[in-house]
Structure 1
Amino acid sequence: MHLVAPAPGLLARARLLVAPEVGEPVLRELGRIAGRPVERAAGSVPDGPYVYVGASLPDGLRGGRLVWFHSVNAGTDALLGSGPWPPDALLTRTVGRMGERIAQYVLAWVLAECQAVPEFAAQHARAEWRRIPSELVAGQTALVHGTGRIGSAVAGLLRGCGIRTVGVARGPRAVPPPGFDRVIGADADTEELGAARWVVAALPLTGATEGYFGARRFAAVRGASFVNVGRGATVDLEALGAALRAGTVRRAVLDVLPAEPAAPDADCWRLPRTVITSHSAGITADEDVVTDFGACWDELRTGRVPALAVDVDRGY
């Protein structure tokens, strides 16, 4: 899909609508950036062109003259999966400092594992004194599936600790993005899965990535720990559970699940050596929404497609 920015003149006369979930402080900042009144969406099709800021696009607004939708979230799979996207409407997303937050989340779990934090916490609960040797991260390999903003941020922070970072993208890259030592294609990751100490999933959810981490990939793992900070439906939880029970996957940290929130009786809670963290690795802050909307607004005013624009055909 060829992304096209709406004409500056069209943007200039478009009404600015926000969803009910957008807080008053954000609403005021959006109005300041756009230099126009901000309206709460009524749920009916507005007269004339409009810009919408929110997490979802109500069915009642899909038939109007939507010029631009700015999502307050980084992931847009739920938004695009809820119905046909209005033709000619630009979609942008909020990333903010999410890459930084998620990278620190991944590093925290990597270091916690190497410093035996879970084992020491369990020993403390038992009032047990026993030395546990630590493990150094430097020189080990992290295989990061997804080389976009979030994957690159994760790789960059891990690389700063001396970890070898290998990215997995749709195809190999002659020049790796920042943070990666090298990037391989998704169809050539078997060898690196076997060599990795950590496998990090930072993939968007698309038709090509649904169930991406299944029995075949987990069978290629040789003792790596698995961390998912992308989308829950990219992982076959049954295949992950089988790999954990077989010992090919050492541990799992899952910030995302195929169905959220997980019910107390859901099978995922019973996965061995697994921690679930309730989609909390990269919570979007109000300042992220304001900053990224402002950056997109400035680019659109000059007729440029924003860097945060989403290809609705690809889903990212």
Structure 2
Amino acid sequence: MPGPPPAPPAPELLARARLLVAPDVGEPVVRELERITGRAGERAPGNAPDGPYLHVGASLPEALRTGRLVWFHSVNAGTDALLDSGPWPPDALLTRTVGRMGERIAQYVLAWVLAECQSVSEFTAQHARAEWRRLPCEPVAGRTALIYGTGRIGSVVAGLLRGCGIRTVGVARTPRPVPPPGFDLVIGADAETEELGAARWVVAALPLTDATRGYFGARRFSAVRGASFVNVGRGATVDLAALGAALHAGTVRRAVLDVLPREPPAPDDGCWRLPRTVITSHSAGITADADVVADFGACWDELRAGRRPALAVDVSRGY
């Protein structure tokens, strides 16, 4: 069993740590980080400093993965690529940027849900043919959305869908007697089969870990009965061959994929030929500079108070 996550760095250690910033972090963000920490930001050098340091960026070079790293703040929400690229220093804190990503992703999901129910693509095709024909529209209220991932992002998605009268069921590692905000019900993964069959939409908002790689495969897709599948989590959580088979069989009605196992896909990649599928360019929840600054500042304040930040990542779990 993995051990507990490390304790947050002591405020006195944080007070003397140097601030290193990755080259791809913009100058406006650097100035805000300097304002928050009260020290000059240094573009990350090729070698680790002699004393303690904290780092802000999207990736952490191997040369900086030392025991002197106090804290790494990721400018991204997902940290799987960061953790997969090399051993993580055992005592270093890892935090991530979420910002308003949940809000953006929730609006993305709702937009596709409503577009499908209002026959937007069909009306668009009819317009191109100068064709006048009434198409039925499907009310969303009373339908079920099964949402995999009940954390910060999944909860916001559930809340927006629920506001339209959609029944929201979350899937978590263990069921929750009291569902988080936004959910009507949260079940464990061992009780999902019935809900998969009843769902009108299946929304994937899972992080990528060893446990979730290929999570949506033939077994889960075979339990679907006409739901549309939307992936706003991580591309590698989905077996695209299994999804393609379910689309061809009709058990999955449509698919909207904002993330893929390999990005960007080549023009001849088979994902472009999946039936009744729309692929968007990993753009559902683009992180803004203001998100990085706000979340770094929140983590800084919590650390200064001696608390583990709410945005801290449990490295042993990957989220």
- Measured against the shorter chain, the TM-score band is over 0.9
Q: Distance in 2 between matches of 1:277 and 1:3?
A: 37
Residue pair 1:46, 1:64 contacting (<8 A) in 2 also? no
Structure 1 residue 215 corresponds to structure 2 residue 225: no
Q: Distance in 1 between matches of 2:181 and 2:105?
A: 16
Structure 1 residue 74 corresponds to structure 2 residue 77: yes
Structure 1 residue 261 corresponds to structure 2 residue 264: yes
Q: How many residues align?
A: 316
Of residues 165, 171, 174, the one that matches 1:171 is: 174
Of residues 308, 311, 316, the one that matches 1:305 is: 308
Residue pair 2:5, 2:315 contacting (<8 A) in 1 also? no
Post-superposition shift, 1:44?
1.1
User: What corresponds to 1:277 in structure 2?
Assistant: 280
Structure 1 residue 159 corresponds to structure 2 residue 162: yes
Residue pair 2:6, 2:90 contacting (<8 A) in 1 also? no
User: What corresponds to 2:9 in structure 1?
Assistant: 6
Which has the higher mean CA deviation after the structures are superposed, 62-71 or 293-302? 62-71
- The superposition leaves residues 39-94 of structure 1 with CA deviations (integer Å, 9 ceiling, x where unpaired) of 10112111200000000000111135100000000000000011110110000000
Structure 1 residue 250 corresponds to structure 2 residue 253: yes
Structure 1 residue 57 corresponds to structure 2 residue 60: yes
For structure 2, the residue ranges without an aligned partner over 5 or more in a row are none
Moved over 6 A (4+): none
Post-superposition shift, 1:188?
1.3
Say which SS state the counterpart of residue 167 (structure 1) adopts.
Answer: strand
Code of the residue aligned with 2:70 in structure 1: it is: V
Q: Distance in 1 between matches of 2:190 and 2:132?
A: 47
Residue pair 1:193, 1:221 contacting (<8 A) in 2 also? yes
Q: Distance in 1 between matches of 2:316 and 2:137?
A: 46
User: What corresponds to 1:193 in structure 2?
Assistant: 196
Of residues 117, 139, 152, the one that matches 1:114 is: 117
For structure 1, the residue ranges without an aligned partner over 5 or more in a row are none
Structure 1 residue 126 corresponds to structure 2 residue 129: yes
Say which SS state the counterpart of residue 183 (structure 1) adopts.
Answer: strand
TM-score, normalised to structure 2, is: 0.98
Say which SS state the counterpart of residue 147 (structure 1) adopts.
Answer: coil
Residue pair 2:67, 2:92 contacting (<8 A) in 1 also? no
Aligned CA RMSD, in angstroms, stands at: 0.7
Residue pair 1:45, 1:64 contacting (<8 A) in 2 also? no
Q: Distance in 2 between matches of 1:105 and 1:4?
A: 36
Code of the residue aligned with 1:314 in structure 2: it is: R
Q: Distance in 1 between matches of 2:14 and 2:117?
A: 52
Which has the higher mean CA deviation after the structures are superposed, 278-287 or 63-72? 63-72
5 Å matches for 1:136-155?
136-155=139-158
User: What corresponds to 2:108 in structure 1?
Assistant: 105
Which has the higher mean CA deviation after the structures are superposed, 227-236 or 119-128? 119-128
Code of the residue aligned with 2:182 in structure 1: it is: G
- The superposition leaves residues 254-307 of structure 1 with CA deviations (integer Å, 9 ceiling, x where unpaired) of 000001111111000000000000100000000000000000000000110000
Q: Distance in 2 between matches of 1:20 and 1:255?
A: 27
Q: Distance in 1 between matches of 2:175 and 2:294?
A: 32
Q: Distance in 2 between matches of 1:43 and 1:76?
A: 22
Residue pair 2:53, 2:71 contacting (<8 A) in 1 also? yes
